[in-house]
Chain A
């Protein structure tokens, strides 16, 4: 009787454990530089950040860029592991073929992160993807980047300021002149003997 009641119960109430034990929280910054310009038959470098600041587990993240053909993107690392609470910078390179049209390109960068699942943990799995715009321009000529002004090295101070030297010279000249005049006057005075 009890067994029958149990079977009936299990028929209507299913003990399903849908507990998501591996929680992810992924932050992704826009690629830097935000205004990337690349020449034909050339490459351009960029980077972006992945945050796992509010994630309870470390994350394994992969990424891809689509929608900018015939340009292609390669990443320094095909995937990165971001520690829980940490941040990782991902570096990439855009390859522009020689025949790429001169224009602005707008694609999508997708970052997908999965939690590092420990052995023996059951439950549903959550993965998080972040989509972002990926914009760049293929140009014929790069505009000159503003150069950073550098303050020149401080000039080495000389021992005596130039103004002081000038004053000394003038004083010497005056003394010599007075002395010379005095001597001339004395030599031209008649003797009082």
Chain B
């Protein structure tokens, strides 16, 4: 009887020994042994990486110098595709997960991105979509943020991805920074089909409020706007015989041109004069720069209340001396735009 039992044990040992030589079986045996001893429960998810698809169409891990998006001036509701890679040690990262995305704007003023600080265009959260089968206990989820509007402030924005394993009800939450690139764009006149027509002007007196047209900030930063202008000259036949340029650079002493957002030419009311010689930039209204729009239609600026300092009418006021030849006078006006956020306006940026 003892001999029988001994043979039985030898057979068992041989079977186990041979099976240990096979890697798959060996792993399975050890795995079973570990689970058996430690009673490991269902682990929660770990959000490992967040990517966005940048302007070039590349998926870029954030944060990164190329982790950016850029608005198209004047365009609302552009998409920002987002992807998250989630790891689950138990290997049950699957479509049963609950994955939520939040995007937080720069002007929120907090570097904590969560549901409370989300861009309020997002109803509650962006629901993730399961996109790939699990590989090595990892899976990918995506969502698209469809509310990137031209007027929302440039700078560091945040994405929060929160994932819940429905098997154990535990959440993991990770946030990453991405760049909404700064775009400067002041449109004048707005809309683009308009023409600045100053029409007929008086001689020897002021002609006020001519060439009225709207200017609008279509970028995502406050901008300083200035104007340079050359003198006016006429190239028609009658003018060539008797050239009578209009010296708005101040050299004539009495001829002036100024630009403003109201209908008077008084310097005290803020009219910017092109009267320096040689021409210098006219830094003008408003003092703290042209604000960003605050709505899709730019019905208001970024600061609630008060006037709209992101979209308003500009007027020219001109005073031309007598003795000029009738005709079409031309010049060149240069509009110079630069950002003044956060740089102080007038600093040249």
Contacts and interface: CB of A to CB of B under 8 A. Distances in A.
Interface of A: 10-21, 23-30, 32-36, 49, 51, 53-56, 87, 108, 112, 122-133, 145-146, 148-149, 151-154, 158, 162-163, 165-166, 169-170, 172-173, 176-177, 180-181, 184
Interface of B: 4, 7-8, 11-12, 15, 18-19, 22, 24-25, 27-29, 32, 48-49, 51, 55, 59-61, 64-66, 68, 70, 72-75, 85, 132-133, 135-136, 138, 140, 154, 179, 181-204, 210-211, 218-219, 232, 246, 316, 320, 322-324, 326-339, 343, 348-349
Contact of A131 (B27, B190, B337): B337
The listed residue with most B CB atoms (<10 A of its CB), out of A11, A23, A54, A154, is A54
A58 B49 CA distance: 42
A126 B190 contact: no
Contacts of B68: 32, 34
A41 B328 CA distance: 55
Nearest to A46: B65
Contacts of A165: 19, 22, 24-25
Contact of B329 (A17, A51, A112, A133): A17
B185 A23 contact: no
A154 B333 contact: no
Contact of B349 (A133, A148, A153): A133
B320 A132 contact: no
Nearest to B246: A16
Nearest to B29: A166
Given A28-B185, A130-B337, A35 B65 contact: yes
B329 to A, nearest CB: 5
Please classify the interface of chain B as helix (H, G, I), strand (E, B), loop, or mixed, using the class held by over half of its residues: mixed
B185 A25 contact: yes
Contacts of B195: 19-21, 23
Given A16-B232, A152-B135, A125 B333 contact: yes
Contact of B338 (A36, A125, A131, A148): A131
A173 B70 contact: no
Contacts of B185: 25-28, 51, 53-54
Given A14-B203, A158-B24, A149 B133 contact: no
Given A51-B183, A130-B337, A11 B322 contact: yes
Contacts of B187: 25, 54
6 contacts: A17-B328, A19-B195, A54-B185, A125-B330, A133-B339, A162-B28
Contacts of B73: 25, 27, 51, 53-54
Query: Shortest 4 CB-CB distances between A and B: which pairs?
Result: A27-B185, A33-B65, A162-B24, A18-B198
B19 A169 contact: yes
B135 A146 contact: no
A24 B320 CA distance: 27
A162 B27 contact: yes
Given A18-B196, A23-B192, A166-B29, A128 B337 contact: yes
Nearest to A129: B336
Contacts of B211: 18
A123 B330 contact: yes
A151 B132 contact: yes
A53 B193 CA distance: 12
Contacts of B330: 18, 122-125
Contact of B65 (A34, A154, A173): A34
Nearest to A12: B203
Given A51-B72, A146-B61, A181-B8, A130 B338 contact: yes
Contact of B348 (A32, A108, A180): A108
A178 B99 CA distance: 54
A13 B334 CA distance: 27
Nearest to B316: A18
B15 A18 contact: no
